[in-house]
Amino acid sequence: MVGDFDAAEAMRDGISDRLEAWDFIRAFAAGWYAPLSDGDGVGEDELKQVEGRLGLSLPTALREAYLLFGRRSELLEHQDSMLPPSELFVHEDLGGVLCFRSENQGCAFWGVRLCDLGEADPPVVVQSREGWRPFLDRVSLACVELVLSEGLFGNGHLYNACELPAEVVIEVPRLFRRVALPDYPMWTGDEESPVRWFSAPGLLLRQDGLTTECWLHVRGKTPAHLSAACIAVPGRWAQWQGTEPTAVDELPF
């Protein structure tokens, strides 16, 4: 529907620095939930306590993220959550990794190598079944990916997913607009399955993989948005999980 938030449009020129990342997260929060407010971040005192406990200084970008939206649970706490400051820890691998995000069953972690903590917006690594590997090259960009992913899974009745055969994968970029995030790996460690994001007004889509056994995850702003997306993707080849889409009179995008 006209006026609904569109992640691809909001990120049409990409994210060049952490200030643009925070601007996007502000827009995303306002478009999907409610605008950020002064009480949505954790306090400086809490971060200083954590730094004292760990014996290190948080990188500027991670500090800014916690100060800006560290208490907004709907942005951070659905599937693979951002850890609250009190749960930040250092993993011993790679000479030490400051971990700030955890897969929902503790199967993987995201973090910053201790040797990179001196950078304002350092690269992020992710732990997979095959060990640690590069994730995204900036903490701020990883925070954008985090809020998109948590938003995707944030409301069960407005979410659906299906497995797409290779011949249907090519339909996704024809139907939806690519969000200007770089390809990045799935935490499962599959080298052939980069993650890509797409959107339309009122819709958010994540494509896990490019070929066989590719999965498409969809979140709609309303049931009508979700149903329209499920119908638009060639459903005769795709078995949608959960509730089957129902017909709508007009596609809302």
Residue type, 35: P
pLDDT tens per residue across span 195-251? 999 999 999 999 998 877 788 999 999 998 998 888 888 654 456 765 555 544 444
- Token output for 127: 């732990």
Question: Which residue shows structure tokens 């939806």?
Answer: 176
**Side-chain half-sphere CA neighbours of 62 within 13 A:** 29
Can you tell me the distance from the alpha carbon of 186 to that of 242, in angstroms, rounded to the nearest whole number? 23
- Token output for 180: 């200007």
User: Using the 8-state DSSP alphabet, how is residue 232 labeled?
Assistant: H
Q: What angle do CA 122, 127, 128 make, to 5 degrees?
A: 140
User: Using the 8-state DSSP alphabet, how is residue 84 labeled?
Assistant: P
3-class secondary structure, 126: strand
Q: What angle do CA 119, 8, 246 make, to 5 degrees?
A: 130
Question: At a CB cut-off of 8 Å and minimum separation 6, what does 236 contact?
Answer: none
* Cα 218 from chain centre: 13
Q: Where are the domains of the chain?
A: 155-237
- Token output for 156: 């069960």
pLDDT 10s digit of each residue in the chain, 253 long? 446 899 999 999 999 999 999 999 999 999 999 999 999 999 999 999 999 999 999 999 999 999 999 999 999 988 899 999 999 999 999 899 999 999 988 789 999 999 999 999 999 999 977 789 999 999 999 999 999 999 998 777 899 988 887 778 888 999 999 999 999 988 876 666 799 999 999 999 999 988 777 889 999 999 989 988 888 886 544 567 655 555 444 444 4
- Token output for 140: 């701020």
3-class secondary structure, 152: helix
Q: At 134, phi and psi to the nearest 5?
A: -60, 140
Question: Which residue shows structure tokens 């900036």?
Answer: 138
What is the sign of the dihedral through the CA atoms of 228, 231, 233 and 239?
Answer: positive
Report the pLDDT value the prediction gives residue 219, as an integer from 0 to 100: 94
Task: Name the residue among 218, 200, 217 with its Cα closest to residue 208.
Answer: 217
Question: Which residue shows structure tokens 């992913």?
Answer: 149
3-class secondary structure, 60: helix
